[in-house]
Structure 1
C-alpha cells in the first residue's frame, strides 16, 4: 500500500512510532538510572539517600558493563513503538474530531493531551510493568513475551495492570500539561521563525521547556508507580506505596530520580514531537 493511499490516522501512527523509536534508543539509560534510584531502599543500602545519577551510572557500568545501561531496551521498544504510535494517532483523531474548527486553547490542549495519553497508557500498561521490572534489576526475565507469561501465570492477570492509578496520575497530567505549554509556546513564536528553516529547532526548544515543567509536576506519581510495579506484593493500594515512600525517605523521596527522569522525558518528548511534526508535514498532514 502506498503511503499516499494510507488513512491519515495510520499515517499519524507510523510517524509517532518512528519518533518513539529514535527517542527510546537514545534515552533508555536515563530511564534505567531513574528506576534504579527510585527503588533503592535506605535500610538495605546504607547511604542510599545520597546516591545520585552519576554514582548510579558508574555503578551500573562497573557491575553490568556499558550495555547494562540499555537493560530493558526490548520492553521499552515493545512499549514505546506501538505506545507512541497509539498516542499520536489518538491525538490526531481527537483533534480532528473535536478541535478541527477552532484554535487550540490552553484547556483544549490539556484535555487533548491527557485523553490521548490515557488511551495509550491503559493499552500499553502490561508492557510498562514488564519494562519497569527489567530496569529495576530485581527480575531475570529472558524476554518480554516470557515475562508477560510468567507474571500472568504466577501473579495473575491483575499484576499486569499494577500501578494503573499511579500511571494515569503521572501520564495523563504530564501529557496534558506538556501539550498545553508546547502548543501555547509554539503559537507565541513569531511567524518569521515558525515558517523558516529554524522551525524544527524552535519547536524542539519549546518542547524542552514544556517537558521540564511537566516532569517536575508529575514526578511524585512516577515514584509511586515504580514502587507499585516493582513490588506489587507489598502494596494492596496506591496509598500504601505513598505511605511507605514517605515513611522510608520523607517528602524528598517523592522526587527521587527526578533529574534523570526530567532529562529523559524532556528530551524524549521534545524529540518525539519534533520528529512527528516533521514527518506529518512530509506526508501532507497537519499535526
Structure 2
C-alpha cells in the first residue's frame, strides 16, 4: 500500500510538471536537459566516481584481511564510492582478492606493493559486480531528483528552501525501494553460488512462504540511513552552491563550485547519519551471515534495539565508529559524483542550445 501511494504521488508530480511544460513551452525550456540526458550524465558520474574511490576500499579490506583474516561466511562491507555492499567471504582461499596475503606497513605501502606484485588492475577488484547495482540506483536517484525538483519548483516557487529536502528524500526512497530486491538476490547468488535456475526456485519458495515483502528484507535499515542523508545532503548542497556562486561570481554549473559544495554537504550528511550507517551495517551483516551460515538471526533486530545494544556495549561513541574512513570515502565520492553530473548536464545544455540556434 505504501509503495502504491508513493508511486501515485510521484506520478502526480511528474504529470503536473509535464502539463506545465507543455502549456508554457518557450525557447528557454528547449535549452534544459531531458530526463534521458540526465540519466546519461548520472551514469558517467557513477562510473567515474567508482573508478576513483574503489581502490581506497580495496586497500582497506586487504589491510583488514591481513590483520584479521576472514573466515568462511564472514561478512565485510565493500564500497565502490556510491554504494555499500555486504560481501560474504567464500571458499576462494588465498586466490580471492580480499584474502590475498600481504605484508603491508600502511595504506601507501599497500598501494605500492599491490601495484608492483599484482598489477594496477587489482586495485579495482570487485568493482564490476557492484557497478551493476550502483548504476541503476544512481540513474534513478539523480534523474528523479532533478525531475521532482522541477515539478516542485513550478508548483511551490523556485525560492522554496525545502524543495531539495523533499525531492532528495523521495528520489532516494524510490531508488532504494527499486534496487533493494536486486541487492538481496545478488547477495544470495554470491553467498550460496546459486545458478539462475536455483535462484529462481529459491525466490519462489521464499515468496510463497513469507510473501513478496520478503524480497525487501533489510529495506528499512537502508531507508533510515539513506533518506535522511539525501535530505541533508541536497539541502546543504543547494545552499552552499548559491552562496559560492554569489561570492565567486560564477555559474552554478561550474565544476569547482559543484565539487566543493558536494564535498562539504556530503561530509555534513555523513557525520549526522553515521549512527544509522552503523546500525545498517550491523543488521545487514547479521542477515547475510544467517543466510550464509544458516544460523537463526539474533533477537536484536529492530533499529532502536540495535542502537541500545551498541550503546550498552561501546557507549555513545560506538554509534560513531568508523567516522574517519566514512568521511574519507563519502567526501570525495560526493564531490566527484555531483561535479561530474553537473558538468555532464552543462554539456547537454550547451548541445541543446546549439541545436536550437540552427535555422
Indicate whether the TM-score tops 0.5: yes
Structure 1 residues 257-266 or 67-76, which shifts more?
67-76
Aligned partners of 2:195, 2:240: CA distance in 1, in Å? 39
Q: Deviations over 1:168-224 (max 9, x none)?
A: 111111111111111111111245735369921122111111111000001111111
Q: How does 1:61-100 map onto structure 2 within 5 Å?
A: 70=124, 72-100=126-154
RMSD: 4.0
Correspondence for 2:50: 24
Aligned partners of 1:90, 1:265: CA distance in 2, in Å? 21
Residue 267 of structure 2: which of 201, 212, 222 is its match?
212
Q: Is the 8 A contact 1:23 1:272 kept in 2?
A: yes
Aligned partners of 2:195, 2:214: CA distance in 1, in Å? 15
Pick 1 or 2: higher relative contact order, CA cutoff 8 A, min separation 6.
1
Correspondence for 2:27: none
TM-score, normalization: structure 2? 0.60
Q: Is the 8 A contact 2:149 2:163 kept in 1?
A: no
Residue 119 of structure 1: which of 174, 181, 189 is its match?
174
Shift of 1:254: 1.6
Structure 1 residues 11-20 or 229-238, which shifts more?
229-238
Correspondence for 1:106: 161
Residue 222 of structure 1: which of 260, 274, 277 is its match?
277
Correspondence for 1:42: none
Aligned partners of 2:126, 2:201: CA distance in 1, in Å? 16
| 1:179 pairs with 2:234 | yes
| 1:9 pairs with 2:43 | no
Q: Is the 8 A contact 2:221 2:276 kept in 1?
A: yes
Aligned partners of 2:232, 2:137: CA distance in 1, in Å? 19
- How has the CA–CA distance of structure 1 residues 17 and 36 changed in structure 2, closer, same or farther, with 3 Å as cutoff? closer
In the alignment of these two chains, the number of paired residues is 260
Structure 1 residues 24-33 or 8-17, which shifts more?
24-33
| Unpaired stretches in structure 2, ≥5 consecutive residues | 1-29, 62-75, 79-83, 87-105, 288-296, 353-359
Shift of 1:161: 2.4
The secondary structure found in structure 2 opposite 1:103 is: coil
| Unpaired stretches in structure 1, ≥5 consecutive residues | 40-53
- How has the CA–CA distance of structure 1 residues 248 and 28 changed in structure 2, closer, same or farther, with 3 Å as cutoff? farther
TM-score, normalization: structure 1? 0.73
| 1:256 pairs with 2:321 | yes
Shift of 1:159: 5.6
- How has the CA–CA distance of structure 1 residues 125 and 151 changed in structure 2, closer, same or farther, with 3 Å as cutoff? farther
Aligned partners of 1:147, 1:242: CA distance in 2, in Å? 36
Correspondence for 1:278: 343
Q: Is the 8 A contact 2:245 2:251 kept in 1?
A: no
Q: Is the 8 A contact 1:141 1:147 kept in 2?
A: no
Structure 1 residues 194-203 or 30-39, which shifts more?
30-39
- How has the CA–CA distance of structure 1 residues 25 and 143 changed in structure 2, closer, same or farther, with 3 Å as cutoff? farther
| 1:201 pairs with 2:256 | yes
Shift of 1:68: 7.0
Shift of 1:22: 1.1
The secondary structure found in structure 2 opposite 1:209 is: helix
The structure number with the bigger radius of gyration is: 2
